Amino acid sequence: MAVPLSQYHSQKYSLNQRFFDSWSASMAYVLGFWFADGYMRHDRSYRIVFVSNDKGIIVAIRRAFRSRHPIRKRAGDNTWSMILHSKYLYFSLMKRGGFRQKSRTIRFPKVPRRYLRDFIRGYFDGDGSVFFVEYTRTKDGRRTRELRTNFTSGSRGFLEDLMMVLRRELGFSIKILGAFNKGASLKLGYGMRDSEALLRYMYYDRFPIGLRRKAIFVDKIPAYQKHARVAEWFTRRT
C-alpha cells in the first residue's frame, strides 16, 4: 500500500511532491540543475535547496514544482536560493542519484535518452559557460574569434560520464579534463564546432525551461559563422 504524502511532511507551501517520480523535459532539466547548483540536507527536517545568481531561473524552477516556496537572497553573496521542505521529495531525489555532500563524488545518473538534452541543459545552466574568445593565430597572425563552452564540476567521475554521453550522442572526441582552483574543480571544454553542436542540441526549439542568456548564443552562431567566412576569405586574398 502506498504511503500517503501527508505522512512524510506537513506542507506549509504548495508543492508537487511527486515531481521526480516521472520523467519529463522539465523534470530532467530541474534534476540536471540540482546536480550542478543544488544540495540536500537532513537535520531537523528534510530539505532540497536550489541556488543561483540568476533569480529568474529559480523562479522558473519553482513554477515547475507548482510551488509558492519563498526565494531569498543569500547573505554575503549575490545569489538566490529556494529551500523545499519535503521528506518524500528528498527520497525521490535520492532515487534519481542525488545524495548529500555530492560535489566531489556525484556521478551522471540514469536518464532516458529522450530527456538527456534537458538534463544536460539543466546542468550547463548551473555549472556551465558559453563565451567567445579572441586570439591571434600563430600560423598566419590572423586575429580569430571562436565560440567555446565549458562544463565544470568537483567530480571527475561526473565529467567523464558526461563526456562519454556527448561522445555517444554527438560524436565528440575524448578530452583531457582541465583543473583550476588548485585542483578542487575540473573543467570539460569544447571548441568552436563542438560548441555549436552542443548548443543546438541543448537549446532546441521551444525548450520548456532554461537560461535565455545562454540560449541566445544559438542565435549568435549564424553571425559568427558569417564573420569567420569573411575573415577566412580576406586572409586568402591577402
> Does residue 112 form part of some domain?
no
Statement to judge: residues 141 and 82 lie in one domain? no
Per residue in 201-236, pLDDT (tens digit) is 999 999 999 999 999 999 888 665 544 443 333 333
**How far is the C-alpha of 26 from the C-alpha of 122, rounded, in Å?**
9
**How far is the C-alpha of 61 from the C-alpha of 40, rounded, in Å?**
16
Of 102, 135, 169, the domain-final residue: 102
| Strand, coil or helix: 153 | strand
Contacting residues for 175 by C-beta, under 8 A, at least 6 apart:
163, 188, 189, 190
Residue % of the chain over a pLDDT of 90: 74
**How far is the C-alpha of 143 from the C-alpha of 105, rounded, in Å?**
41
Residues β-bridged to residue 83: 49
- The residue written with cell numbers 518524500 in the block is 88
Statement to judge: residues 93 and 181 lie in one domain? no
Q: Where are the beta strands (DSSP E) in the chain?
A: 38-42, 46-52, 71-73, 80-85, 128-136, 143-153, 178-180, 185-190
Statement to judge: residues 130 and 95 lie in one domain? no
Statement to judge: residues 64 and 166 lie in one domain? no
Per residue in 56-82, pLDDT (tens digit) is 999 999 999 999 999 999 888 889 999
Its domain, for residue 163, covers: 122-237
> Does residue 110 form part of some domain?
no
Statement to judge: residues 80 and 14 lie in one domain? yes
Give the model's pLDDT for residue 224.
Answer: 57
CA atoms within 13 A on the CB side of 179: 5
> Does residue 3 form part of some domain?
no
52 by Cβ neighbours in 10 Å (0-12 / 13-18 / 19+) ranks as: buried
First-residue to last-residue Cα distance in the chain? 78
Statement to judge: residues 60 and 133 lie in one domain? no
Phi, psi dihedrals of residue 32, rounded to the nearest 5°: -65, -40
CATH (domain of 233): 3.10.28.10
Residue % of the chain over a pLDDT of 70: 88
> Does residue 108 form part of some domain?
no
Phi, psi dihedrals of residue 92, rounded to the nearest 5°: -65, -40
> Does residue 116 form part of some domain?
no
Of 40, 67, 102, the domain-final residue: 102
Give the model's pLDDT for residue 55.
Answer: 96
Total number of domains constituting the chain: 2
Of 102, 136, 152, the domain-final residue: 102
